[in-house]
């Protein structure tokens, strides 16, 4: 029995996904969904082109876990600036690249209390524990994917570091700096949030 034609058959140049959004629930769901659709459409590899100001860590962790679990090769490209929580998404790439001039920004986890929120010692203490946990969890992911120590990654976070492409190569974030191109016959899908 012949299988029905798939999108991958119509686009032999591969599957390219654009992600240029803040990381929130909707963006994480859309990115995960689009990648799942690529698999259902017969693609064996996908390339995700990212530029993001970052966003909410819990949603970045979710999308990272889903993308890591997919039975497909993922390549990621930094097309401009990868900041904050978006670094976690970027690191789901089995192969990782950046265009010339791209940057990566790291910082500690922040907390913005709701307007009028009552702050007590117990609330502040619990929030501080949560911030430390998120910093450690993020550092573990970054260290695991770059081969750097957690101590070194924590220095990136604590110093509010902006890393250029040369430093990103030295620190294992990317393997090369090269232009991003979609070949003839490539399928491009922009994540819309």
Domains of the chain, earliest start first: 11-190 (3.90.226.10)
Quick check: 104 and 87 in contact, CB under 8 A? yes
Q: Over the range 30-68, which residues count as b (16 or more CB within 10 Å of their CB) and which as e?
A: bbbebbeebeeebbeebbbbbbbebbbbebbbbbbebbe
Give yes or no for residue 79 having a pLDDT over 90. yes
Average pLDDT over residues 76-96: 97
pLDDT at 87: 96
Residue 56's DSSP bridge partners are: none
Which carries the bigger pLDDT value, residue 5 or residue 100? 100
Q: Percent of the chain scored above 90 by pLDDT?
A: 76
> Tens digits of per-residue pLDDT, 166-175?
999 999 999 9
Predicted TM-score (pTM) of this structure: 0.90
The band of 4, judged by pLDDT with boundaries at 50, 70 and 90, is low
Which carries the bigger pLDDT value, residue 109 or residue 95? 95
Average pLDDT over residues 74-100: 97
CA distances from 35 to 11, 73, 101, 108 (A): 16, 11, 27, 29
d(CA 15, CA 7): 9
Which carries the bigger pLDDT value, residue 15 or residue 135? 15
Cα(first)–Cα(last) distance of the chain, in Å? 39
């Amino acid at each position: 029995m012949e299988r029905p034609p798939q999108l991958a058959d119509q686009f032999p140049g591969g599957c390219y996904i654009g992600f240029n959004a803040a990381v929130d629930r909707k963006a994480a769901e859309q990115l995960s969904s689009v990648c799942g659709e690529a698999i259902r459409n017969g693609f064996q590899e996908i390339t995700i082109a990212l530029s993001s100001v970052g966003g909410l860590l819990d949603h970045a962790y979710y999308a990272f876990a889903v993308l890591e679990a997919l039975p497909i090769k993922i390549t990621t490209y930094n097309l401009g600036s990868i900041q904050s929580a978006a670094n976690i998404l970027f690191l789901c790439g089995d192969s990782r690249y950046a265009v010339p001039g791209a940057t990566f920004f790291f910082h500690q986890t922040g907390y913005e209390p709701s307007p009028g929120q009552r702050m007590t010692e117990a609330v502040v203490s619990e929030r501080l524990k949560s911030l430390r946990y998120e910093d450690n969890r993020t550092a573990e992911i970054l260290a695991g994917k770059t081969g750097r120590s957690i101590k070194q990654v924590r220095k990136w976070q604590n110093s509010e570091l902006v890393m250029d492409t040369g430093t990103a190569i030295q620190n294992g974030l990317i393997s090369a700096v090269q232009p991003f191109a979609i070949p003839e016959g490539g399928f491009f899908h922009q994540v819309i949030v």
